[in-house]
Chains A and B, each alone.
Chain A
């Protein structure tokens, strides 16, 4: 009973997140999500390679695991007092998927090697505001997607220490739509839609140390990938009389950083049944200084734009635990606190970000010796955050960002299937 009490305590304590600060997604693996998305000091399945390729040698079996999360995210906006205007983002579900595999090569080559391939979505965002909402000239909708394909290799020197590295091929796509404050004869506003994609190369490094069999320490580093969108489509839908000023089929170039992450943590087996873990992640958001839109064709009306973002590096702290109910079934819970990289005066409707707290729960059930199913549920709540006109004046962003209060609440269930051999 004592053990159960501990698990309940973990469940009801704050545990956190599925969606990271900024546009970071904390949805690498369903098993990891269940315990606060801890994966760096933890070596249970192939998904750990995305956190820490140094885990490759520690993962007990070869295996593949794949699944998806389902994001139900609701962001609310309240205009500055005394306005009673409020709005919520449109309902929509996204499916950030993940697939991971790891192969022990013990039989093929001498030494304790593991290789793997991971496909996951570390960054992403999808925000659709109701058509014609108050901040329509800042943003109507945005979809930001990323897919990382990461082959990894890890080597375990001995029972205590292992290292690993991965190569990342990243793909990113963005679609951003805004209304322009120019109306046609029917009163419909003009609109601009930016659509583009890019690829980039990066890497992942990891170290795992198990000084005693009950304790595992891990450090992982994933490099920054700069997504340079070249000649993306910039569609301007404007009244025909002013198409000269807004060429309907323009192009744009922009760069969006997918920042580096340094992650480290510790997990400990308290007993045969109970493991607890803690992890801290530092994300290099400093890299996102501005959104610079460089249009292919400029006119007097259409100049390139520079919108300041000035993100700052930010931390995520995670705490989680796992309880083995039986040989077939493990339960997990976790909590994390994700600090926003967005400073006062730089909050935008595409990332109306504030500090977030998240509680997670999960379970794994072995259907057979080889086949298991993982399930996770993440609840995430951002702090209600108000951006005032004073904030924007101090930041020098008056008129470039909306004022008002934002809050996000998300429910993210997930499921994956795992086959080990």
Chain B
């Protein structure tokens, strides 16, 4: 290095003085500016996607790569201030039931499965970290739109309880108390996802339980309140709308027609059903699933079917392309007896593990409805919206970054973490860049994007 220093010294003293040329590559580097925005006090409001929840747990490493934290880091060059997150201690993290985060594991046959990293999750709930606040990242796993307005929400959701100032302060109130100059709001996913993850067993017409779809008027009022209060002091911000939940991996990992049968197996199943069905049943043949050699739809429960009076146990059929099997279905349950109950073949997969064609359509329509509400409320207040379904669609086709491709493919794609819902580090990085692009365009800012390649997708054993 000494030689290099001498050369540089020689260069600067002799060359630059006499020849007006440079000694090392010099670039006209862009200078980040905030434009019309002001990043000095940035607050992120939302659910698990804002919190940096991933791999089915809240854990520190994932919190550190939450898209709001990545954004805040990039904002630093453009007048951004400090950004405090309610971090858990380093470890395997925890979901609401105390399970550790998932990691990828390889079975002896070479196949990959997500498995918990430890038998037990980390205790992240028993001690409040409120005194480490105030917090700029107010993403609360599990939160629906109206939850953010509830004064006593800390008593209902331990993910909020662990860092809420007290039991009488809503998430929104904590946000406004920070007097934000800039915000992101990403809420509404759970307003549909809770229902979809219950296999559509909750109330689709609108209800306030975990498994219900949020009533439209409640959703609309919540969004109006959230945005009007967040912008009350003149803060600028950005809204992310609702992903179309049926597109995320958790509904698509298990293919509807994942049942591979030989000719003998198909015939055996047909014979089995034939034997089990009561002889008196009219139109008896129509209840026997049409098992064929090759790929078959799983047999699923369908409570909406019309069957012979008093024979509710006949409400089953073979899945079609529009039906979704949830990844939450216990995998050994799909094994034929004696290894498992033989769901999908000898017995139908229970309704709570499927999102049937009509239900998937309800989820899609509700998403559109909620997103049009988000758009119109945001437009009224002049707040730009990041269209998440559009981003997911582009990711399905593949987004190029730094010599590699980001896709929505489960495990290998890089967008999703191992729970098949939340983003992996790399997905958060791409999302941060999409947000930065909008901020730069809409507010005349010049915020430097992150290098997506610095962030990993799912890690392999």
- On A, residues with C-beta under 8 Å from B are 12, 72, 74-76, 78-79, 81-86, 88, 91, 93, 132, 134-138, 181-187, 189, 238-242, 244, 359, 379, 381, 384, 398-399, 402, 405, 407-409, 411
CB within 8 Å of A: which of B5-39? 7, 11, 15, 18-19, 21-27, 29-30, 32
Q: Is the CB of B404 within 8 A of A74?
A: no
Extra 20 A-B pairs, beta carbons < 8 Å, given A76-B24, A88-B24: A81-B30, A82-B447, A82-B449, A83-B448, A84-B32, A85-B451, A88-B25, A93-B3, A132-B454, A135-B403, A136-B403, A137-B453, A183-B459, A241-B104, A381-B22, A399-B405, A405-B27, A407-B25, A407-B27, A411-B11
- Whether A187 lies near B456 (C-beta < 8 A) is yes
Taking the closest CB of chain B, its distance from the CB of A174, in whole angstroms, is 20
In whole angstroms, how far apart are the Cα atoms of A181 and B7 in the complex?
Answer: 37
Closest to A89 in B: B25
Given known pairs A84-B29, A84-B77, the reply for A181 and B404 (CB within 8 Å) is yes
Which of B26, B30, B104, B460 has the most CB atoms of chain A within a 10 A radius of its CB? B460
Asked whether any CB of chain A lies closer than 8 Å to the CB of B338, the reply is: no
Q: List the 6 shortest-distance A-B pairs measured between CB atoms, nearest first.
A: A76-B25, A137-B403, A239-B460, A181-B404, A183-B456, A407-B25
CB-CB under 8 A from B199, the residues of chain A are none
Give CA–CA (A84, B15) in the complex, Å.
Answer: 27
For chain B, the bracket of interface size reads 35 or more
B437-461 contacts to A, CB under 8 A, are 440, 446-449, 451, 453-454, 456-457, 459-461
Which one of A83, A132, A135, A186 contacts B449 once the chains associate, using CB atoms below 8 Å? Answer: A83
Q: Which residues in B have their C-beta under 8 angstroms from that of A399? A: 400, 403, 405
A88 and B25 alpha carbons, distance in the complex (Å): 8
B460 touches A183 (CB 8 A): yes
Q: Is the CB of A409 within 8 A of B23?
A: yes
Tell whether, in the assembled complex, residue B24 and residue A134 are in contact, meaning their CB atoms are under 8 Å apart.
no
Given contacts A84-B77, A135-B403, A138-B403, contact A185 B21 (CB under 8 A): no
| Nearest A residue to B440, CB-CB | A82
Q: How far is the CA of A392 from the CA of B351 in the complex (A)?
A: 50
B55 to chain A, nearest CB (A): 12
Residues of B close to A241: CB separation below 8 A: 104, 106, 112, 460-461
> B459 to A78, Cβ gap below 8 A?
no
Cβ A185 vs Cβ B459 within 8 A? yes
B27 near A402: Cβ-Cβ < 8 Å: no
Check B400–A82 contact: CB distance below 8 A: no
Q: Is the CB of A411 within 8 A of B459?
A: no
Pairs across A and B, CB under 8 Å, 9 listed: A78-B27, A81-B446, A82-B440, A88-B25, A132-B454, A181-B404, A241-B106, A399-B403, A409-B22
Give the residues in chain B near A381, CB-CB below 8 Å.
Answer: 21-22
Residues A384 and B77 in contact, CB atoms below 8 Å apart: no
Q: Give a binary string over B339-363; 1 marks a CB under 8 Å from any A CB, 0 the rest.
A: 0000000000000000000000000
CA distance A143 to B414 in the complex (A): 31
The docked-state distance in angstroms from the alpha carbon of A372 to that of B30 is 51
Which residue on A lies nearest to B33, using beta carbons?
A82
CA distance A137 to B1 in the complex (A): 28
Q: In the complex, what residues of A have CB within 8 A of residue B404's CB?
A: 137, 181
Q: A405-B27, A409-B25 are in contact. Are A91 and B448 (CB under 8 A)?
A: no
Contacts of B448 in A (CB 8 A): 82-85
Q: In the complex, what residue of chain A is closest to B400 when comparing beta carbons?
A: A399
A240 to B459, CA, bound (A): 12
Q: Are B456 and A72 in contact (CB under 8 A)?
A: no
Is A240 in contact with B461, judged by CB distance below 8 angstroms?
A: yes
Given contacts A84-B448, A135-B402, A411-B11, contact A72 B4 (CB under 8 A): yes
Q: Smallest distance from the beta carbon of A182 to chain B beta carbons, Å? A: 6
Any A CB within 8 A of the CB of B279: no
Does B310 touch A at the CB level, under 8 Å?
no
Expressed in whole angstroms, the Cα–Cα distance for A184 and B454 within the complex equals: 14
Contact B403 A242 (CB under 8 A): no
B110 within 8 Å of A by Cβ? yes
List, in ascending order, chain B residues with CB within 8 A of A79's CB.
451
Q: Determine the chain A residues whose CB is within 8 A of the CB of B451 once the complex forms.
A: 79, 85, 134
Contacts of B26 in A (CB 8 A): 76, 407
The answer to whether A185 touches B110, judged by C-beta atoms less than 8 angstroms apart, is no
Residues of A within 8 A of B374 (CB): none
Nearest chain B CB to A139 CB, angstrom units: 9
Chain A residue with Cβ nearest B110: A244
Query: B415 interface residue, CB < 8 Å from A?
Result: no
Q: Is B45 an interface residue (CB 8 A)?
A: no
B7 contact from A186, A408, A411, Cβ within 8 A: A411
Q: Give chain A residues whose Cβ lies under 8 Å from the Cβ of B403.
A: 135-138, 181, 399, 402
Kindly list chain A residues whose C-beta atoms are within 8 Å of the C-beta of B456: 183, 187, 189
Q: Report the minimal beta-carbon distance from B395 to chain A, rounded to whole angstroms.
A: 15
Residues in B with CB closer than 8 Å to A240 are: 461
Q: Which residues of A contact B103 (CB under 8 A)?
A: 185
**What chain B residues lie within 8 Å of A409 (beta carbons)?**
22-25
* Nearest-Cβ distance from residue B61 to partner chain A, whole angstroms: 9
Instruction: Decide if B414 touches A181 in the complex (CB within 8 Å).
Output: yes
Mark interface residues in B276-310 (1 if CB within 8 Å of A CB, else 0).
00000000000000000000000000000000000
Contacts of B15 in A (CB 8 A): 379
Are the CB atoms of A134 and B106 closer together than 8 Å?
Answer: no
Q: How far is the CB of A245 from chain B (nearest CB, A)?
A: 10
Q: Take A184-B460, A244-B110, A411-B11 as given contacts and tell me if A134 and B453 are in contact as well, using a CB distance cutoff of 8 Å.
A: yes
Bound complex: CA of A361 vs CA of B21, how far in Å?
Answer: 16
Known: A78-B27, A134-B453. A185 touches B460 (CB 8 A): yes
Q: Shortest CB–CB separation between residue B15 and chain A, in angstroms?
A: 7
Q: Is the CB of B25 within 8 A of A12?
A: no
Assess whether A398 is in contact with B1, with CB atoms less than 8 Å apart.
no
Determine the chain A residues whose CB is within 8 A of the CB of B19 once the complex forms.
12, 359
How long is the Cα–Cα vector from A238 to B414 in the complex, in angstroms? Answer: 17
Contact between chains at B27 and A134 (CB < 8 Å): no
Given A134-B451, A137-B403, A183-B457, decide whether A384 and B4 contact each other with a Cβ distance below 8 A: no
B29 adjacent to A402 (CB under 8 Å): no
Residues of B within 8 A of A384 (CB): 25, 27
- Inter-chain CA distance A379–B18, complex, in Å, is 14
Alpha-carbon distance A91/B2, docked complex (angstroms): 11
Tell me, in angstroms, the Cα distance from A76 to B23 when the chains sit together: 12
- What is the minimal beta-carbon distance from B27 to any residue of chain A, in angstroms? 4
Q: How far is the CB of B180 from chain A (nearest CB, A)?
A: 23
Q: Whose C-beta in chain B lies nearest to the C-beta of A406?
A: B25
> Closest residue of chain B to A187, judged by CB?
B456
- Min CB–CB distance A83 → chain B (angstroms): 5
Query: Considering the chains assembled together, what is the distance between the CA atoms of A78 and B448 in angstroms?
Result: 12
A74 and B402 form a contact (CB under 8 A): no
Against A, the Cβ 8 Å flags (1 = close, 0 = not) of B371-413 are: 0000000000000000000000000000010111100000000
Whole-angstrom CA separation of A137 from B106 in the bound complex: 25
Report the minimum CB–CB distance from A72 to chain B (whole Å). 6
- Report the minimum CB–CB distance from B318 to chain A (whole Å): 31
- Cα distance, A184 to B19, chains bound together (Å): 50
Q: How far is the CA of A233 from the CA of B23 in the complex (A)?
A: 38
Q: A82 to B446, Cβ gap below 8 A?
A: yes
If A181-B404, A184-B459 touch, whether A84 touches B30 (CB-CB below 8 Å) is yes
Tell me whether A408 and B25 are in contact in the complex, defined as CB-CB below 8 angstroms, given that A12-B19, A82-B30, A82-B440 are known contacts.
yes
